A = this chain, B = another copy of it.
């Protein structure tokens, strides 16, 4: 069997750290480099940068170009941002080096949705460099889109889709909590929604586009609402204390219409310590059709560990894929493969080459 598949990871935040750890554990993969956007005053070992408790003999690089030249990876996993526009510079550089890209940037699930021109550029650049690009993640990317598409496979007809993901923000850090308006007054939350500082969930339009495309629905409009989840009790996490009357999170909802008919409704209340007010977390999918399909699970599939898993589990599919910009719905399902990942890499990788 050939040498291990070289993987680099972009990002040393919470998600990057989880992905780095998993890449190192998987047989057949080699962590060939780690890149971080933010320079540090002194060189730092990856193990120290991600709090591994031990050094791994690999320094975090702030020079992606140099890292690519030195490491010559087959695959890069991007965990540096949420938006396509923010992801582009890195993706361009990776593709110009012929590197396959897995991105967990939320908008990269379906980049044509927010950024049709950039999506076209990615597709063309990927084809020109014989590489493929895939966005993945637990949400968007799995629970509220890909899994639903998969479940429609048993339906002769689909009338409408309603899905809800109730999760717990407690493990998340200050950046995420701020983007959800946690700790604000209800008034400040409303102002934050108006000025864009309270974002809520990133990815509803992308999830809707993935499903609508798979089902063949033309969506006329998508309405998103962001409501404050005002806490009735004090809620504490390691990051924040939310006083009673303050915002514990954001109830973000998106409804997609065909004409005046709502066909996709996605409901995503995210908050810290939901259990303190008797809220049970979970994932809930309700497809109306013939047959209808209802599936649910509680608690919710945890976002962090699952997104890291997906980012690594899709590697063989991305390597095997036809060159270009791909979506989860175009590739075989990602499985948790415990053997040597190289066994999954098709010899005819890239089809006709």
Contacts and interface: CB of A to CB of B under 8 A. Distances in A.
B291 A158 contact: no
A6 to B, nearest CB: 20
A107 to B, nearest CB: 20
Interface in A61-82: none
- Residues of A contacting B: mostly: mixed
Interface residues of A, number: 55
Given A296-B297, A329-B333, A335-B215, A306 B154 contact: yes
A89 to B, nearest CB: 29
Interface in A298-353: 298, 301-302, 305-306, 308-310, 312-314, 329-340, 343, 351-352
A297 B298 contact: no
Contacts of A312: 156
Contact of A305 (B22, B290, B335): B290
B335 A332 contact: no
Contacts of A291: 301-302, 305-306, 309
A113 to B, nearest CB: 18
Contacts of A296: 295-297
Contacts of A217: 338
A142 interface: yes
Contacts of A351: 351-352
A234 to B, nearest CB: 29
A97 B351 CA distance: 25
Interface stretch (A42-50, A143-151, A165-173, A242-250): A143-151
A87 interface: no
Contact of A338 (B138, B215, B294, B306): B215
Nearest to A298: B294
A199 interface: no
Between A25, A147, A154, A337, the greatest number of chain B beta carbons within 10 A of the residue's beta carbon is seen for A154
23 contacts: A142-B154, A149-B335, A150-B150, A150-B334, A150-B335, A152-B336, A153-B313, A153-B314, A153-B333, A153-B335, A154-B336, A155-B309, A215-B335, A216-B337, A216-B338, A283-B295, A289-B336, A291-B306, A293-B297, A294-B297, A295-B297, A329-B335, A351-B352
Given A152-B335, A216-B340, A216-B343, 15 more contacts: A25-B156, A146-B333, A149-B333, A150-B335, A153-B333, A153-B334, A154-B306, A154-B310, A156-B308, A156-B336, A214-B335, A296-B297, A331-B332, A333-B333, A352-B352
